[in-house]
Amino acid sequence: MKRILISLIAITIFLVGCNQTDTNSYINEETPISQYQSMADYEIPTDLNALKNSSKIIVKVKALSDLGNDVIDGQTFGSKKKVKVLKSYGEEIQGEITIIEPAFVADGEYVATESYIKMLDGEEYILFLNEGDLKNEYAIVALGFGKYSYEKSGGNFTITDFSTFGEIKKYGFISNNKEEVKQYEVIRADVLKEYE
């Protein structure tokens, strides 16, 4: 009887372990870029004021770790990223929060909505957010236009121009539309000036 109980416990631990996302290997430089990329219908902000008006929360954060995919009713909508709030502008938010990013890993490949590039652990960003479905969970507004890196600028590419995540991680934003990249850079300059 004791052996059966121990065997059942061991099997249960194994099965639970198989269901957990290994966040250390969730995404890395060698993660291939999927040829399938999703599109979205969203409003591109005309300037920083338009971006601020579409956001409820503006924060400076440090990206900490991936928490796996954001799955609702069996469908993957993005991925979850744990970040530490370094400063909030307006509504007071402190500590660690979860950000839903419009990109995820499926079948070992990086899938992005509108060429969104995930935040990298250890790097700092200014994020324009709205509240998510759960407490301490927030969604980035305007996809790539809602996330700004201090170090990385935009590039005029299609995400499928790249083979691996390591090749795109040097950009803060990419689009195959030159005007969108130009618009991103104008807003980015204003963001970095206002939210140092």
Answer yes or no: is 97 within a domain: yes
Quick one: what percent of the chain has pLDDT higher than 90?
Answer: 68
Asked whether residue 171 carries a pLDDT value surpassing 60, the answer given is yes
Answer yes or no: is 9 within a domain: no
Answer yes or no: is 17 within a domain: no
Answer yes or no: is 12 within a domain: no
Asked whether residue 8 carries a pLDDT value surpassing 60, the answer given is no
Q: What is the mean pLDDT of the chain?
A: 85
Asked whether residue 165 carries a pLDDT value surpassing 80, the answer given is yes
pTM: 0.84
Q: Which domain holds residue 86?
A: 23-194
Answer yes or no: is 173 within a domain: yes
Please count the other Cβ atoms lying within 10 Å of the Cβ belonging to residue 39.
Answer: 8
Answer yes or no: is 2 within a domain: no
| Residues 51/146, Cβ–Cβ less than 8 Å | yes
Q: Which residues contact 88 (CB under 8 A, 6 or more apart)?
A: 57, 58, 59, 60, 94
Q: What is the tally of structural domains in the chain? A: 1
Residue 70: both structure tokens together? 């954001």
Answer yes or no: is 189 within a domain: yes
Q: pLDDT band at 32, cuts 50/70/90? A: very high
Answer yes or no: is 15 within a domain: no
* CA–CA dist 187, 151 (Å, integer): 15
